[in-house]
Amino acid sequence: MATFVDHVTLHLRAGHGGHGCVSVKREKFKPLAGPDGGNGGSGGDLVLVADPNVTTLLGYHRSPHRSSDNGGPGMGDHRNGHAGELRELAVPLGTVVKDMEGNELADMTEPGMRLVVAPGGQGGLGNAALASTKRKAPGFALLGTLGWEGDVQLVLKTVADVALVGYPSAGKSSLIAAISAARPKIADYPFTTLHPNLGVVDAGEVRYTVADVPGLIEGASEGKGLGLEFLRHVERCTALLHVLDCATLDPGRDPLSDLDIILGELAAYPVPDGQLPLLDRPQLVALNKIDVPEARELAEFVRADLEARGYRVFEISTVTHEGLRQLNYALAETVEAGRVARAAIEAKKPRIVIRPKTVDDSGFVVRVEGGSFGNIYRILGTKPERWVQQTDFKNDEAIGFLADRLAKLGIENELFKAGAVAGSTVIIGPGNGVVFDWEPTLTSTAELITAPRGTDTRLDDSKRRTSNERREEYFGRMDAKAAARAELIREREAGMWSTGEEEFNGPSDSASAEQKTETE
């Protein structure tokens, strides 16, 4: 069973925002007393918090799916929905947060540092909040937006001052157990240490931390042994302590050759940009196991060669604790010097200046994409994408409200500039998004659908009719009407059609006279 995990993938789902409410207040003698729909509550955020009491990512390895509560819907009588509860996720100090493409989002190096890794959705406004002097009784409300959903990577890089590096079974675990309260596994076979161990050491008034990294062997940079998998825990260390085994029984091995191999593997490890390479950091050498007589002789023999290379060398024994006090204070001195240097660098760092957005920043872009049936115009931006999510497309009034918001944002003018015409396909949002057949909004009868706002294609035609031309056209229409009336009269007199007045009013006078004559 795993007890130490330093790399996990979290599957996160933040809470969704609650929908706004459509409601009209009704009371005695006031059946329609105005809108009173409340707002929806916002969804809960997922927040990463750097906690010094957490040392591993094991909890997230066992349960990587984390979510927060949704916001409640709004209700009538101006009652707002409840907000989703924020959920904190504790991570160890030194945790690096990355997206799935490997881009670094944050480095959690300070206790209490917080990162909203998955923001919750925004609650929708009720019709009471949407009421205005021009829209006194809105028949719609805004929907709540979806919370962020996706995956992030957590990579733990141990925050320690000194890193112990060396061959397997060189005595690194015994050393950290001798100088601190850490109790790592210790055995007489290689690769006993399978994960980094941390120990806190006190040397006078200086307190520092020591990290025990699993042993390296020749070819570790090519994947042999445990490889360079755990060397990420060395990146943040101020100094390196090479623990060399002077009592090894392996043929062909000695402290000098072991050191050369370890230095080669450390040189093959790429550190992130802006950090000091591992071999450029302060390095000390501890010749271990001098409680064995042959090992003490070998340590005294190679000490001069190591000091000639510029290393501070200490002969130690983790069994008898010989030489540990001198090594302890030497490490504390190195760590304190590194802290002073870092403080000076921090003081010289330029201040972070947060500048507001420029005045002409529209907050969206229009991207033209080719399609099978012509160009597709895709609109990308935080506001338009959020507004589309908040719109109930089953409500015509809500769709009109969305059109007004998009027009005020200047999207129509940008579409005209991009070459869009009436009927063009417009998509708001990435991927499939929301697809529209664009119809420009008219603000006056002088504007034409085929022309951008502020222009009129009729002004391009400079030809104007004269008074005589308009008079001739008028008389021509009058003559045509007179000829049509005369033609209708001739057809009626010829009996081709009748008005029906004869049957309604009875026989005419001439018919009555003829009937009277026949009677006489």
Asked whether residue 504 is marked as a ligand-binding residue, the answer is no
The reply, when asked if residue 194 is annotated as ligand binding, is yes
* Residue 400 marked in a binding site: no
Q: Is residue 167 part of an annotated ligand binding site?
A: yes
- Cβ-Cβ contacts under 8 Å for 152 (sequence gap 6 or more): 9, 10, 12, 97, 98, 99, 100, 105, 117
Task: Tell me which residue has tokens 């991207």.
Answer: 367
212 labelled ligand-binding? yes
Report the 10 Å Cβ neighbour count for 277.
11
Ligand-binding annotation for 117, yes or no, is no
Q: Is 317 annotated as a binding residue?
A: yes
- Residue 289 assigned to a binding site: yes
**Angstrom distance (rounded) from CA 49 to CA 490:** 98
Q: Which residues contact 365 (CB under 8 A, 6 or more apart)?
A: 379, 380, 381
519 carries a ligand binding annotation: no
Whether 290 has a binding-site annotation, put simply, is yes
Two structure tokens written together for 106: 């944050």
238 is in an annotated binding site: no
Phi, psi of 463 (to 5 degrees): -75, 125
Q: Does 33 carry a binding-site annotation?
A: no
Distance (Å, whole) CA 474 – CA 465: 13
Q: Exposure string (b/e) for 400-426, b if CB count within 10 Å is 16 or more?
A: ebbbebbeebebbbbbbebebeeebbb
* 214 annotated as belonging to a binding site for a ligand: yes
CA distance 117 to 102: 15
The answer to the question of whether 98 is labelled as a binding residue is: no
Q: Is 279 annotated as a binding residue?
A: no
Residue 434, annotated as binding a ligand: no
Three-state secondary-structure class, residue 59: helix
Q: Is 166 annotated as a binding residue?
A: yes
172 known member of a binding site: yes
**Residue 322 burial by CB count (10 A; 0-12/13-18/19+): exposed, middle or buried?**
middle
Confirm whether residue 455 is marked as ligand binding. Answer: no
Is 169 among the annotated ligand-binding positions? yes
Is 293 annotated to bind ligand? no
Which positions make up the binding site for Mg(2+)? 173, 193
Which positions make up the binding site for GTP? 166-173, 191-195, 212-215, 288-291, 317-319
Which positions make up the binding site? 166-173, 191-195, 212-215, 288-291, 317-319
